[in-house]
Structure 1
């Protein structure tokens, strides 16, 4: 069993991009992980919240165009489009298929990565064994409104005047545009309630600490991460809000598995379940993570790996919810 743990750069459609590839056995199936954000690579979380994915797969933690170690000043804003990101994803898929001699691979998206992932699979289903979505996006504009309403009610019940005031300054009403400036308020509010990135992660500062402590990044990589986080989000946020996957992806030609935290308001749990109920696919499985918010892959990794090992690898849904 040949193991692998490397950080490499390849040329992706004229742009130098980085990735981490980890495997306990390179003969295992290949999994491409599409990070969230946009602009928020997630390999850094695995140091303190190990996923176990490398036990089951040869897993590629690719850092997308304009993000993390792939961020460069010369990345053109004009290239930061959904179509370009899909083209980049397909290039990386081809690289992995060729390198590891696989006809098909698995693809796993988290948050924004679910939008990118499902559109990529829709375009070229013949390249994939299955699609796995964690914190599956559907209609993010509606998700933001549901979250805003919930947070405001929750803080009013708690009598938290400070958070009420902050939220009321950036109302998310029907028809109102969800500005990027709102996200910093939203993220802080979600963390305080345990409905954001992770159930037990109650401070934005804690994310910074995880980045600082991550040994896989050099100092300049950490600087690039911060710059890319802002850059990619600013380029793609408005595009995300325009998407309605329930209408755009009524069917998928590969098995689809969606893993969602019960306490997730960063991407609506209820809208995710609605999307899975309506989509047509050869195999459809929805899995509720009762102790997670937005990141069950880091919050309940043992449960995730059991689902992957027993259901996903065998095209089964024995562990799935009854929808």
Structure 2
């Protein structure tokens, strides 16, 4: 959903970067690389390809203390691997060991195999991949359960993993939580229409009203146009795209320029997954979760609004559950305010999965 939007936003700096900009980028990348070093005696920093679902897929595991709870991240996009945010989320690794997986179609997995090497690009295939990666992480870290943390489009996978496999996960945490209601909830569409009308954007408004509110009827081009307009029509979302997402891409110490281009191509390639989920219905699939259940949502998220997430959360039955709003945040809430997200993880989630008192940073 976001691949074309991010690619368009990043096109200028990737096309012909000035020498001065490249020099500044090198300085920032070097500083970020230094920040990412893990030198603690009990730490772990390993990455590489493992065989998952018949193809090589990239998994990294990082943390300052192997005794900390182990997180498996399920990234969004589709195809938007979370590796670009490592410098922003470095503090998380002091309190958690984090396994980050570049799912098929995204990140280094896409870069390694290219479009022809991604195999079956279906939602169900990637859901099975996630279970294989879960088993790999459990075995590698020697833990019975891992903490499942999903963001944005990854939360569509996350809900299904948490709902069906409580034996594998100590808790579920969704942020930028996506709630699909079988086409019944069209509030985000109507909110976009309202913003465009209020801003006097008649051309854009005509395009959106021509699409209609039924996403199942949209063409691939309309899907892209819709999400582009959602981003650019909301000042906070657009600012987050520029200052958080694009800056994280540009200054990532793990990605050379060519790798950044492949990263963006992976998101574009993976957009075929989104229409496969249009008919999903989270309520029909079930609101009974047999594990602790948390949702931490951006206060002003216009892409995955907090109101549908809260309605679903209110209907969830779980041993422990909690909902929190991250203030002054849109989509990408955990990456815009990684300190606030970490505080929620330390005060609400970590005590539940460890049985220990809440930690203070």
Q: Which range, TM-score by smaller chain? A: 0.7 to 0.9
Q: 1:296 aligns with which of 329, 333, 336?
A: 333
Match of 1:107 in 2: 148
Deviation, 1:50, is: 3.1
Secondary structure of the structure 2 residue equivalent to 1:315: helix
Deviation, 1:162, is: 4.8
- TM-score relative to the length of structure 1: 0.87
How far apart, in 1, do the equivalents of 2:263 and 2:66 lie?
28
- TM-score relative to the length of structure 2: 0.78
Deviation, 1:230, is: 1.7
Deviation, 1:151, is: 1.8
Match of 1:63 in 2: 102
Range with greater deviation from structure 2 (80-89 or 112-121): 80-89
Q: Kindly tell me: are residues 20 and 162 of structure 1, through their superposed partners in 2, closer, same or farther at Cα, counting changes over 3 Å?
A: farther
> Any gaps of 5 or more consecutive residues in structure 2?
1-40
- Cα pair 2:295 2:323 within 8 Å, conserved: yes
Match of 2:163 in 1: 122
- Cα pair 2:216 2:278 within 8 Å, conserved: no
- Cα pair 1:140 1:267 within 8 Å, conserved: no
> Any gaps of 5 or more consecutive residues in structure 1?
none
Match of 1:229 in 2: 267
1:1-323 matches, cutoff 5 A: 1-47=41-87, 49-50=88-89, 52-71=91-110, 72=113, 73-75=115-117, 79-139=120-180, 142=183, 145-168=186-209, 170-174=210-214, 177-194=217-234, 198=237, 200-201=239-240, 207-208=245-246, 210-234=248-272, 236-315=273-352
- Cα pair 1:141 1:178 within 8 Å, conserved: no
Flag as ranges the 4+ runs of structure 1 deviating above 4 A.
Answer: 140-144, 205-209
Q: Kindly tell me: are residues 301 and 244 of structure 1, through their superposed partners in 2, closer, same or farther at Cα, counting changes over 3 Å?
A: same
Question: Which structure carries more helix by proportion?
Answer: 2
Range with greater deviation from structure 2 (206-215 or 128-137): 206-215
Deviation, 1:200, is: 2.9
Range with greater deviation from structure 2 (243-252 or 154-163): 154-163
- RMSD of aligned C-alpha atoms? 2.7
How far apart, in 2, do the equivalents of 1:17 and 1:248 lie?
29
- Cα pair 2:75 2:153 within 8 Å, conserved: yes
Deviation, 1:54, is: 1.1
How far apart, in 2, do the equivalents of 1:269 and 1:251 lie?
20
Q: Kindly tell me: are residues 83 and 185 of structure 1, through their superposed partners in 2, closer, same or farther at Cα, counting changes over 3 Å?
A: closer
- Cα pair 1:30 1:106 within 8 Å, conserved: yes
Deviation, 1:133, is: 0.5
